[in-house]
Structure 1
Amino acid sequence: MAQRYRDHLPEDFSERSLSEDVRFGLTSSPKTLPPKWFYDKVGSELYEEITRLPEYYPFAAEREILMARATEIVTAAGCRHLVELGSGSSEKTRALIEAVLAATRDGEQAAYRAIDVSGSALRAAAQDLSRRYPTLALESVRADFEHGLADALAVEAGEGRGGRLVIFLGGTIGNQTPEQRRSFLAALRGALAPGDAFLLGADLVKSPDVLVPAYDDAAGVTAAFNLNVLEVVNSRLGADFDATDFRHVAVWDADNAWIEMRLEAVRDVRVRISGLDLDVDFAAGEQMRTEISAKFTRERLAAEFEAAGFAASGWWTDEAGRFSVSLWTLS
């Protein structure tokens, strides 16, 4: 089956976005960096290592659900076209692809559209998927769904039959603040058509004794992953961060029901970012937030989705009840 590749982003998108995020985040109070910049080559390799750690349950729990429930999910959605936001390697999505292929009848065409900001990730995933599933209609779209969701989800010719199942896995929605989630869900509601559905992977609230170690493992892999974002800024914007000037911190914020990952200055530090002609001072003990990871209850998710015009159409958890995969349709 032929592959399609579309690029919705300018050639300098990544460089411009990083510059804007670093300038805004490091001149704010408190200082922040968005988690999307974790994933250079080293960061991606460290994340793969994190997914295999005994403390880090979300990856395995979500995969358990998808492996066990993919057929049930696809049946409930009634869709033959899969569209994944932030697709990355598309590894966990294979269970859904296989369920769609198995459900496809004569005259129907199973399709998968992968949407990601990384062209290299899209190309690698497409090569693997086309080899595994030669009858799958495959499209790769390089796009920033955070700011261009309507364009990324624009209906293509032939997509109407059976509707589309838009997929957002990995608990990534937890990286958004409540205000960002409201904006995202409003944009999603406006971009979907009758017959479409939305599948969400979201982590669930549980004891801090389980949550905190998942983001601060004993082997220090998550600490290395967090600190690596400083090397990303160094290599791409000519900064002179010294990782030994900072330490990894993970805390549970019960009021907001989220984990925060932070980098804390262990001494007074001045950082020069030559690519931005910017000097940034950190006081000893000052913390810079690099990620939030919100945790949800079923009731909280339902309230947010219903307020955005969605109806609950399916709910699945892993056997231990740690993680959720939920299906939502237009109300």
Structure 2
Amino acid sequence: MAMSIRELLLQGLNSDPKYIDVSCRYDEQGSKYDEECTNVESYYYYKAEEEIVRTFAAVGLSNLEMPFKLFELGCGSTKKSQIIIDKILRHESTLEYGLNDLSADFLEKVCEDLSAIYGSRLKVDTLAGDFMTVFPKIRNYRGRKVLLWLGGLHCFPLNIQPELLLNIASTLQDSKPISKLYKNGVHVLNRELKSTIDLSKFELEGRYVENKDVSSASYIQVWLRSLVEQTYVLENVGKTVTFGRGEKLLLYGGNGLSHKYTFEQLEHLFASVGLQIVNQWDNGHSALTMVKRKS
């Protein structure tokens, strides 16, 4: 559960050694100080980041399927983000942009600046608060989305970084019906065996296996890869199941699913059970095959 700034500060003061979490410095005033740092000649970090962002905007954006909604974590002044926004708007008439920062007041000023630059071409909505507060809002967006985090992991303690990355991964889970269908077996498992397997701790993966052997077929394999070591209780059967980090939970039995056949493979399959093909109609994706018993 996300903590308020007050709770975060108290947690730090009650610890040994006492500390102030780095995120607490980014209120409205702190965000202004951060912006001032970008103009300091010796502050190499900002300039190095900006160079990488320009490279990504020139090369990396071509790998993304547009249109999408751009969400940004810890957006700050958005100066670096604008390099990416400018590139996108060269090809798209508009862009949806959801920006996050701790300070709602600071975000309001950033929105005013963006409106002055882009007008109605940039459709902005704000997500004020810490990351854990805004992750569910990003996760609930059902269209195509890209998550931009130019601040990166370096400011967060090592023990927090895996949790942050898990939450980022869960916000980007594919919401397409086919993805939901593949994963629904886990929901059935949780219901029937009374368990709590958490899909946000798995990544959906798959591959196409091509097989030209006349006695076989091509097919798809789909699985959930465990992102962490995790154990769940199956209450209805009094057992537990453990998934190691990187372990696959296959979403099929046997060799695979959604088999794909060449004409020769179908012909061989039918012949093996005493049938022969009379005719076949296909559209390049599916086929309707008429068969009869061999005389």
TM-score using structure 2 length: 0.53
Aligned to 1:247: none
* Structure 1 residue 60, shift from structure 2 partner: 0.8
Please say if 1:165 is aligned against 2:152: no
Structure 1: stretches of 5+ with no match in the other structure: 1-12, 197-306, 312-329
Number of the residue aligned with 2:50: 63
Report deviation, 1:34.
Answer: 0.5
SS at match of 1:61: helix
Identical columns (%)? 26
- The partner residue of 1:142 within 116, 121, 128 is 128
Deviates more, 1:60-69 or 1:85-94: 60-69
Which one-letter code corresponds to 2:62 in the other structure? Answer: T
SS of match in other structure, 1:146 = helix
Cα displacement string for residues 277-301 of structure 1 (whole angstroms, at most 9, x for unaligned residues)? xxxxxxxxxxxxxxxxxxxxxxxxx
1:46 aligns with 33
Does the 8 A contact of 1:122 with 1:140 survive in 2?
Answer: yes
1:122 to 2:107 alignment: yes
Cα distance change on mapping 1:43 and 1:122 into 2, 3 Å: closer
Greater relative CO (CA pairs within 8 A, separation 6+): 1
1-side partners of 2:133 and 2:161: how far apart? 12
Which of the two has higher C-alpha Rg? 2
- Number of aligned positions between the proteins: 180
- Name 1:217's counterpart in structure 2: none
**Counterpart AA for 1:129:** L
Of 71-80 and 56-65, more deviation after overlay is shown by 71-80
CA contact (8 A) 2:28 2:103 kept: no
Partner of 1:191: 171
Deviations 1:59-79 (A, max 9, x none): 111112223431322211224
User: Offset at 1:93?
Assistant: 0.5
On the 8 A contact 1:79/1:165 being kept in 2, the answer is no
Distance (Å, rounded) in 2 between the aligned partners of 1:63 and 1:310: 33
Q: Distance in 2 between matches of 1:195 and 1:91?
A: 31
Structure 1 moving runs of 4+ over 6 Å: none
User: Could you tell me which residue of structure 2 aligns to residue 257 of structure 1?
Assistant: none
CA contact (8 A) 1:82 1:165 kept: yes
| Counterpart amino acid of residue 39 in structure 1 | Y
Measured on the aligned residues, the alpha-carbon RMSD in Å equals 3.1
Pair 42,148 (structure 1): closer, same or farther in 2 beyond 3 Å: closer
Q: How does 1:91-130 map onto structure 2 within 5 Å?
A: 91-104=79-92, 109-130=94-115
**2:156 aligned residue:** 176
Measure the CA separation in 2 of the matches of 1:129 and 1:193: 29
After superposition, the Cα gap between the structure-2 partners of 1:188 and 1:46, relative to the gap in structure 1 and judged at 3 Å, is closer
Q: TM-score, length-normalised on structure 1?
A: 0.48
